[in-house]
Amino acid sequence: MTRRAPNIAIVAASLLACACTPEAVPPAPVAELVRWEAASLADGLPVRFEAGDGAVVLNVWATWCEPCRREMASLEAAHRSLAARGIRVIGVSVDRDVLLAREYARRMGLTFTNLSDPAQALVRDRLGVRRLPTTVGIGADGGVRWREESARDWSEPARLAWIERSVAPGGR
């Protein structure tokens, strides 16, 4: 009987997919985020959002997640483009070391709002995030329009147009 060595590419891809997966928890059903709060990564003060505050592209990340780090520059570019359209990009770090996450955001020159959620009260309990990075489009009414569970180039013109259409009132 011959044994075949496992395909290294398949094993590597499986390990990479798991590398940025927080502890396994079943996803919470999420239809809306009418009211939510998390601490500012910059100063630790609470930041509150309510339906009607505007559309949001919410990105969940961690400094130890390589795909998260890879998409940060495109999120910054998306922030600069979408802000003019009234759509906010907000990052939520799940790093337990808040100072490390704060320093990373500063070093990267991130100007979009970043929050800290080390206990994952918002991202795991309210959003059901199981994998990093996860990005969620939230309409101005608090309704969740879409969810992407992997790194993307958020600055591509076609993607920016899709984001704008999807989080607009009544958009999907």
Is 69 within 8 Å of 107 (Cβ atoms)?
no
pLDDT, tens digit (0-9, with 9 covering 90-100), for 39-61:
999 999 999 888 778 899 999 99
Task: For the chain, give every domain's residue range.
Answer: 28-167
> Per-residue pLDDT for 142 more than 90?
no
pLDDT value at 20 more than 80: no
Is the pLDDT confidence value at 163 over 80?
yes
> 135, 58 in Cβ contact below 8 A?
yes
pLDDT at residue 34, as a whole number:
64
What pLDDT shows up at residue 170? 58
Q: Tens of pLDDT along 101-134?
A: 999 999 999 999 999 999 988 888 888 888 999 9
What is the per-residue pLDDT for 12? 40
Q: Rounded to an integer, what distance in angstroms lies between the CA atom of residue 59 and that of residue 79?
A: 11
| Residue/partner pairs of 48-54 with CB below 8 Å, 24 or more apart | 50/142, 51/140, 51/141, 51/142, 52/140, 52/141, 52/142, 53/140, 54/86, 54/87, 54/88, 54/140
Cis ω for the linkage preceding 118 (within 30 of 0): no
CATH of domain 28-167: 3.40.30.10
Percent of the chain past pLDDT 70, that is, above it, reads 78
Section 70-99 average pLDDT: 96
Number of CB atoms found within 10 A of residue 46's CB: 9
More confident call, 13 vs 76: 76
Per-residue confidence (pLDDT) for residue 50, from 0 to 100: 83
Asked whether residue 11 carries a pLDDT value surpassing 50, the answer given is no
Whether residue 100 is predicted with pLDDT greater than 70 in this model: the reply is yes
